[in-house]
Structure 1
Amino acid sequence: MAKTSEEILRVSHLDAGYGHVKVIRDANLSVAAGEVVGLVGRNGAGKTTFLSSLIGMLPSSRGSIQLCGQELAGLPSHERVRQGLVISPSGGRLFKSLTVEENLLLGIASATPADLEPVLALFPELQKLRGRYAGKLSGGERQMVAIGRALVLKPRLLLLDEPSEGLAPIVVLRVAEAIKSLQQTGIAMLVAEQNLKFTDAVCNRWFQIDKGAISPVASSP
């Protein structure tokens, strides 16, 4: 896909944390249209905290979060989702007592099975699982459903938190293929990962996070 300079996400001088404990410090990061950007770091480096601050699950104390030029800082999470910022959380968190189809359609009040067509095209494995309860899925199947649930919301920017975490190597490859396919549709993505091989396979460029500080990586991790 040809690169574009159109900016989807611009994060500037962002501080965020829990109460008086500052975890994210003066963060600056950008994602362009059609780009897959990695945020790499070890466990506890601040990856999930940063994504939580972007989506509004954790309030920021300073800085700017702009999606397609619109300021999101200060907006509640549902308004950020409405603007096109959507997250697929780590661990493929689903409602275990609901079926795969119910989980996929959960985020849209007026959703119909037709809304699942793009998801089933990306993950045809889910077609036969539509009526299965989420609590009976494997880790890889849960991750596919979690990503699919985010896609039903038609994101401008998709945040992926540790999409390879806890998955068998063959499933990690399958998720990597899905991310590459999504990029071809023009969806921009920010991928938080500690798996450097996975990041190298799916991302155009990277940022490193360490103790809440984010810095660009000049070359492959």
Structure 2
Amino acid sequence: MKTSDEVLRVEAMDAGYGHVRVLRNANVSVRAGEVVGLVGRNGAGKTTFINAVAGLVTASSGAITVNGQNLRGVPANKRVAAGVAIVPSGGRLFRSLTVEENLTIGVARPSAQQLETVYGLFPEMTALRTRYAGKLSGGERQMVAISRALLLQPQLLLLDEPSEGLAPIVVLRLAEAIKSLCASGMGILLAEQNIKFTDLICHRWYAIDKGDISTVEQVVARDALQDTSVAAAH
């Protein structure tokens, strides 16, 4: 049953690619103003889960409910209209476009206020407006990718491996920004290998191993997480 402040509830979801089932009976919830982690090693199913919620991977059963609306079977573009935005692993910017062109390419006429809001979250980008994305560092690309998603004005933000490949000081900067978004009331689902980063910003987290999702209380002693790669977050 959905609680009044839930922005996301996934119940008994199976998902995968063609006849290959990656996720089995997945159950995850995210409340407004909460950062929830989904932690697991490479190939565990984290990206499949994030993409299934975003509508980029087909969920064959179960429910994906955002703000009370079941979106299973709804196209990805209509999920954006329902308040869902995704930042894929690596950001996936257009390298031949400038920072500001990347920010505005998927948004119909963002207002000056919207742009100033994202520049306020990441002041470092102000000096980068006219720089080509191909010339950015990994941390700068991640800031642009998150800002592009924020211009869609989501209520649920999906982040896939946001700390991957970033220097520790940049990871901390990213953590500050995510905490700020959470404080504004946004619900955030974070898929990560970096347990220290997850612990730094998440209110609670789930573990995923071979497509099976458990609450952290159920998996603390499981071997599935003991060899998960952990990057320094400080």
TM-score w.r.t. structure 1 length? 0.95
Partner of 1:169: 168
1:177-214 Cα distance to aligned partner (Å, 9 max, x none): 11111111111100000000000001000000000111
Q: Could you list the runs of 4 or more consecutive aligned residues of structure 1 that deviate by over 4 angstroms after TM superposition?
A: none
Partner of 1:129: 128
1:49-99 Cα distance to aligned partner (Å, 9 max, x none): 111111111111111000010011001000001100110111121001111
Preserved CA contact (<8 Å) 1:205 1:219: no
Evaluate the alpha carbon distance shift between residue 19 and residue 120 of structure 1 in structure 2; reply closer, same or farther with a 3 A threshold: same
Preserved CA contact (<8 Å) 2:207 2:219: no
Quick one: distance in 1 between partners of 2:110 and 2:28? 33
Amino-acid identity (%): 65
Aligned counterparts, 1:106-125, within 5 A: 106-125=105-124
1:104 matches 2:125: no
Partner of 2:230: none
* SS of alignment partner, residue 13 of structure 1: strand
TM-score w.r.t. structure 2 length? 0.90
Shift, 1:112, TM fit: 3.8
Shift, 1:151, TM fit: 0.5
Shift, 1:220, TM fit: 10
Preserved CA contact (<8 Å) 1:200 1:220: no
Preserved CA contact (<8 Å) 1:52 1:58: yes
1:154 matches 2:153: yes
1:4-47 Cα distance to aligned partner (Å, 9 max, x none): 96111000010011111100111001011111000000011000
Preserved CA contact (<8 Å) 1:105 1:112: no
* SS of alignment partner, residue 101 of structure 1: helix
Partner of 1:21: 20
Aligned pair count reads 218
Quick one: distance in 1 between partners of 2:169 and 2:15? 36
Preserved CA contact (<8 Å) 1:5 1:33: no
Partner of 2:68: 69
Partner of 1:212: 211
Partner of 2:223: none
Aligned counterparts, 1:16-55, within 5 A: 16-55=15-54
Evaluate the alpha carbon distance shift between residue 64 and residue 173 of structure 1 in structure 2; reply closer, same or farther with a 3 A threshold: same
1:81 matches 2:44: no
Preserved CA contact (<8 Å) 1:205 1:220: no
Quick one: distance in 1 between partners of 2:96 and 2:218? 44
**Structure 1 spans left out of the alignment, 5+ residues:** none
